[in-house]
């Protein structure tokens, strides 16, 4: 049985070696290149500049094909794992190739905009790699044997049980539990839509209600004392379950949310790259 292989280790780092070779070859060509007479250094308008620029442009277009490859389930054009490994390493090599293409010349123009978008795309890609290597294990450990969906179902059942117990207590106890339950539902709905950054910092209404019930318990007597103790016990279970759901939502946001930046900026980069090429060959 083959062990799971990280995309960074695919085929003993095949694409790491390829990306390193591309970077070394680009740097060697840049160092050894003889600039034209009167030219202080290589620049984008030389044959080396055009060569490196063509390589960078082709890489950008090819890297964007990963999204299509992921959805082409019957494709025989290499594994998705291999494509993803190449995407990571060759995408990182773009920083070197594109920087040498422009010969470290930057300014307030379309060409530098394309470069800046490329750096932003690569940077967000680095975070994506970090997230996918770091958080899936935490997601599994947090959920245990449950899925997020089954955990939400268990929370709903436990919440209904708490509200039933609260009916045996005075109105102020019952109102406290009902209010906490409604706020928890709203927070869960927020989490389902990945609006988590505010949720991550928000206090847990169930925990606050549980603490209040503990403080108010001294005002009860008889059977209501036992009902309140049972309610506090069940709400403590609910608090622990709620924290697991909150963590699951946060991990989901980290795993998916970066794409909100990465994908649109990638298309913006493609548009800027197209404009850059047109301006170089047709407007200059």
Cα 146 to Cα 249: distance, rounded to the nearest angstrom: 14
The residue ranking higher by pLDDT, 6 or 113, is 113
165 lies in the same domain as 155: yes
Domain identity same for 163 and 182: yes
Residues in CB range of 88: below 8 A, 6 or more apart? 7, 8, 15, 125, 129
Residue 222 backbone class (left: φ over 0; alpha: ψ -120 to 50; beta: rest): left
CA separation for the pair 134, 154 (Å, rounded): 27
Residue 1 lies in a domain: no
For residue 8, give the DSSP letter: G
pLDDT digits (tens, 9 = 90+) for 36-78: 666 656 778 888 999 999 999 999 999 999 988 777 766 767 7
Contact 63, 91 (CB under 8 A): yes
User: What is the per-residue pLDDT for 74?
Assistant: 67
Assigned domain for 169 exists: yes
Look at residue 81 and tell me if it is in a domain.
yes
72 domain residue, yes or no: yes
pLDDT digits (tens, 9 = 90+) for 152-194: 889 889 999 999 999 999 999 999 999 988 887 776 665 554 4
Alpha carbons 1 and 4: distance in angstroms, whole number: 9
Q: Is 6 helix (H, G, I), strand (E, B) or coil?
A: coil
pLDDT per residue over 230-254, tens digit each?
999 999 999 998 888 888 888 888 8
Write down the mean pLDDT value for the chain: 87
Number of independent structural domains in the chain? 2
Q: Distance (Å, rounded) from C-alpha 89 to C-alpha 199?
A: 35
Its domain, for residue 19, covers 7-134+259-283
Q: What pLDDT score was predicted for residue 193?
A: 46
> For residue 260, what are the CA distances in angstroms to 73, 77, 132, 200?
24, 27, 15, 19
d(CA 52, CA 99): 9
**pLDDT of amino acid 187:** 67
Residues 75 and 151 in one domain: no
């Amino acid at each position: 049985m083959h062990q799971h292989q990280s995309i960074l280790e695919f085929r003993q780092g095949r694409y790491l070696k390829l990306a390193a070779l591309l970077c070394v070859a680009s740097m060697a060509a840049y160092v050894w290149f003889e600039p034209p007479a009167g030219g202080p250094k290589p620049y984008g308008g030389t044959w080396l500049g055009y060569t490196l620029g063509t390589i960078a442009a082709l890489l950008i277009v090819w890297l964007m094909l990963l999204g299509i490859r992921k959805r082409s389930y019957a494709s025989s054009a290499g594994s998705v794992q291999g494509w993803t490994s190449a995407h990571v390493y060759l995408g990182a090599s773009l920083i070197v190739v594109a920087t040498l293409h422009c010969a470290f010349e930057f300014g307030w123009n379309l060409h530098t905009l394309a470069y800046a978008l490329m750096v932003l795309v690569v940077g967000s890609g680095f975070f994506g790699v970090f997230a996918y290597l770091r958080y899936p294990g935490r997601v599994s450990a947090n959920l245990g044997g449950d899925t997020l969906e089954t955990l939400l179902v268990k929370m709903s059942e436990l919440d209904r049980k708490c509200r039933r117990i609260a009916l045996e207590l005075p109105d102020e106890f019952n109102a406290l539990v009902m209010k906490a339950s409604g706020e928890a539902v709203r927070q869960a709905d927020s989490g389902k839509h990945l609006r988590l950054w505010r949720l991550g910092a928000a206090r847990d209404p169930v925990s606050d209600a549980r603490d209040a019930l503990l403080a108010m318990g001294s005002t009860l007597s008889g059977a209501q004392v036992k009902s309140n103790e049972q309610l506090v016990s069940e709400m403590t279970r609910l608090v622990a379950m709620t924290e697991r759901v909150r963590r699951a939502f946060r991990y989901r946001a980290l795993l998916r949310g970066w794409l909100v930046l990465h994908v649109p900026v990638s298309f913006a980069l493609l548009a800027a790259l197209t404009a850059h090429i047109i301006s170089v060959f047709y407007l200059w």
